Structures are given as structure tokens and as C-alpha cells.
């Protein structure tokens, strides 16, 4: 029996446990120092506070002080914390991963960007590799687990199609075969850059989709056309930037891009944040309320980093107008969000 250790007992980390349990794996779930109340609910058999679904039975839970125990004997490790928490959790995990003899893969469900010590914006796999190099730890192949996955549906065993990407395609393919179930389908890919970049960008673009919905709720006038135009523009911009960054231009037109943006734009946390903006709340006011509800809005910190990342590859506002518009809205001071988003998604601009 293979063992996976999931680091982070939040929504996605807990959800990922379900298919691995169903596939016959032994599953260890380690909670960070912020996750005790989540583990309390899991251990009591109660619904997870963030996804309102009970965790899969058979999971072995570990509190933050038991990281070494959680990692012992693991064949695969998955990092499932926020992008802000990833560097610290990676540092902690690498202190023990070097002691695991045959670790087959280090997976990543955390999504976002990382600023290196020189100020360059990088994707999270690069952060892990840089931290490992600094600590002198040899890493197994990295596997980026992309969308589209809504955590509560995955945790409930509903049909889910996802993407596992690695520069070592054979590792992604093998893991896909061993983790797939009747309801959890996995498409392997060799486009780590494309899958990771789509996963980070779709959180930003989902805010624009939410703004369209919020405008409709606030006025009683549907903004479906605006949302559709925003969706199409988002996919176009993702494809352009993925290609510039060295990924496959077609990746955003598959599960990792169109699929993940669709599910996030329907009811994800970033979309819900955008709805608040569309209904007239200020960016900081809306974020404070989302934080109070323990609903992480990854797109908020990702937006300015995405703009900086794009600039590193020579992509500016003219090529990525919607990305820049969302980032500007989140800074505050944009009174007419409807007009701003509309201007960004017009196919031909006066």
C-alpha cells in the first residue's frame, strides 16, 4: 500500500485525501499551526468547517508538531497550503524529506507566485527548487496538480477531472494511473509551467467574472455578456502569457485553463470576492469580510505579482488588459468597475 502525506488541512488538502483513500492509498493529513480547529472537526467526524463536507474516513491526522511522523514512510508528499505559507512549510518539510529514502514525487496543490531574494517573480515549483538547493536537499520529481477541482465536490466523491503535470511525464502518468478512481479522473501533462501559471492566473481572472455577476445582482440587470467576454479574454491572455513563459500555448484551452476558470468563475472564493466588488464594496473591505469567513482569496495577492511576472516576459497592459484592469481595481480608486472591465474586454478598442 502506497502512502501519501498531505501538508495542509484546509479545503483543498482535505479534499485531495478522498480520491487517494478511494484508490487504496494510506493517507496522512498534517495540519499547520493554523489548522487545529480544522483537525478537531475532521477527527470528530464533523463536516470540514470550510467545505461543509466530512473528510474521507481512514485518514490519519497529525498536528503541526508531528511533521516528522506525518512524513515518515511517505511515497508521495503533497504541499496544500496557501502561496504565502508555502516557503515556510517547504523549509520545514525539507528538513525531513531528505530522510525519506524512496520518495517518488513531491506534489503541489498550492497555487500562486513567489518573490525570490533578488525580487524576481517566480512560479511555486521554482520556489521549492530554490529552497531545496539552498538547503542542499535533493528533490524527487515535482508534480503540479491543477484544476478544475472544487474542493467540496471532490471531498464528497463527485465526478472530478484534474491535471497532473511534471517535467518528467512518466512520473505524472504513473501517479495518474495509481490515484485515479471511478469519479476522479486525471490527465497527465508535461507542461508544468502552463498548468502552474493557469492555476495562479485563473484566481485573478475569476475576480473579473465575479464582478460581472455582482453588477447584475446590484442592478437587477444581468451582465452575462460582460462575463462571457471576460471569460474569453482571460483565456486568450493566459495562453499568451503561458507561451511567453515557456509553456504550451494550448494548455489554457484545456482542463487547467478553461476548465479551472469555469469552475472558479461559477462559485469559487475569488469569484465571490469579485461579486462583492461588483456590488459596490471596496477591495479592502471585501477582503476583510472574506478573511473573517476563512475564505482565502488567492487572486488578491496574486494580481500584482502576475502583472510583474508578465512584465518579466515583455507582456504589458496592451497585451493583457484584463489582467492589468483587475490589478488596478484591487488597488482601490476605480469608481466605475463596470466601465473598467468593459473597456478591457472589448475586441476592438477605440
**Which stretch of DSSP H or E encloses residue 326?**
helix 321-331
Distance from C-alpha of 47 to C-alpha of 54, rounded to nearest angstrom: 4
Contact 135/94 with Cβ under 8 angstroms? yes
202: annotated active-site residue: yes
Report residue 340 as a C-alpha cell.
Answer: 473598467
**Catalytic entry in 18, 202, 227, 271:** 202
How many residues in total does the chain contain? 350
Residue 273: closest CA among 220, 210, 212: 210
Can you say whether the dihedral through the CA atoms of 37, 40, 42, 45 is positive or negative? negative
Distance from C-alpha of 103 to C-alpha of 228, rounded to nearest angstrom: 43
Q: Which residue's entry shows cell 511567453?
A: 244
Distance from C-alpha of 212 to C-alpha of 206, rounded to nearest angstrom: 10
Q: Which residue's entry shows cell 473597456?
A: 343
Residue 204: closest CA among 309, 74, 133, 48: 309
Distance from C-alpha of 51 to C-alpha of 12, rounded to nearest angstrom: 9
Distance from C-alpha of 233 to C-alpha of 235, rounded to nearest angstrom: 6
Distance from C-alpha of 260 to C-alpha of 276, rounded to nearest angstrom: 21
Residue 303: closest CA among 328, 336, 339, 334: 328
Residue numbers annotated as active site: 202
Amino acid at each position: 500500500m502506497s502512502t501519501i502525506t498531505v501538508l495542509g488541512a484546509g479545503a483543498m488538502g482535505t479534499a485531495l485525501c478522498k480520491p487517494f483513500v478511494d484508490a487504496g492509498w494510506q493517507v496522512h493529513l498534517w495540519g499547520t499551526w493554523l489548522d487545529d480547529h480544522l483537525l478537531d472537526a475532521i477527527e470528530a467526524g464533523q463536516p470540514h468547517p470550510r467545505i461543509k463536507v466530512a473528510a474521507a474516513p481512514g485518514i490519519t491526522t497529525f498536528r503541526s508538531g508531528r511533521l516528522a511522523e506525518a512524513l515518515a514512510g511517505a511515497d508521495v508528499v503533497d504541499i496544500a497550503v496557501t502561496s504565502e505559507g508555502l516557503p515556510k512549510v517547504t523549509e520545514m518539510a525539507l528538513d525531513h524529506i531528505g530522510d525519506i529514502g524512496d520518495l517518488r514525487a513531491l506534489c503541489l496543490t498550492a497555487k500562486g507566485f513567489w518573490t525570490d531574494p533578488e525580487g524576481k517573480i517566480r512560479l511555486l515549483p521554482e520556489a521549492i527548487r530554490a529552497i531545496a538547493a539552498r538547503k542542499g536537499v535533493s528533490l524527487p520529481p515535482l508534480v503540479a496538480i491543477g484544476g478544475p477541482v472544487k474542493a467540496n465536490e471532490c471531498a464528497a466523491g463527485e465526478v472530478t477531472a484534474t491535471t497532473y503535470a511534471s517535467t518528467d511525464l512518466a512520473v505524472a502518468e504513473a501517479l495518474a494511473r495509481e490515484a485515479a478512481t471511478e469519479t476522479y479522473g486525471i490527465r497527465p501533462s508535461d507542461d508544468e509551467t502552463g498548468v502552474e501559471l493557469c492555476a495562479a492566473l485563473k484566481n485573478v481572472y475569476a475576480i473579473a467574472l465575479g464582478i460581472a455577476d455582482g453588477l447584475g445582482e446590484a442592478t437587477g440587470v444581468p451582465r452575462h455578456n460582460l462575463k462571457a467576454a471576460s471569460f474569453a479574454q482571460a483565456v486568450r491572455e493566459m495562453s499568451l502569457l503561458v507561451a511567453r513563459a515557456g509553456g504550451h500555448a494550448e494548455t489554457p484551452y484545456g482542463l487547467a485553463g478553461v476548465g479551472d476558470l469555469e469552475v472558479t468563475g461559477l462559485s469559487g472564493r475569488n469569484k465571490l470576492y469579485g461579486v462583492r466588488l461588483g456590488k459596490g464594496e471596496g477591495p479592502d473591505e471585501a477582503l476583510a469580510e472574506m478573511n473573517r469567513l476563512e475564505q482565502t482569496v488567492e487572486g488578491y495577492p496574486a494580481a500584482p505579482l502576475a502583472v510583474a511576472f508578465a512584465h518579466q516576459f515583455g507582456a504589458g497592459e496592451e497585451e493583457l488588459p484584463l489582467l492589468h484592469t483587475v490589478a488596478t481595481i484591487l488597488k482601490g480608486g476605480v469608481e466605475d468597475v463596470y466601465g473598467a472591465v468593459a473597456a478591457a474586454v472589448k475586441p476592438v478598442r477605440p
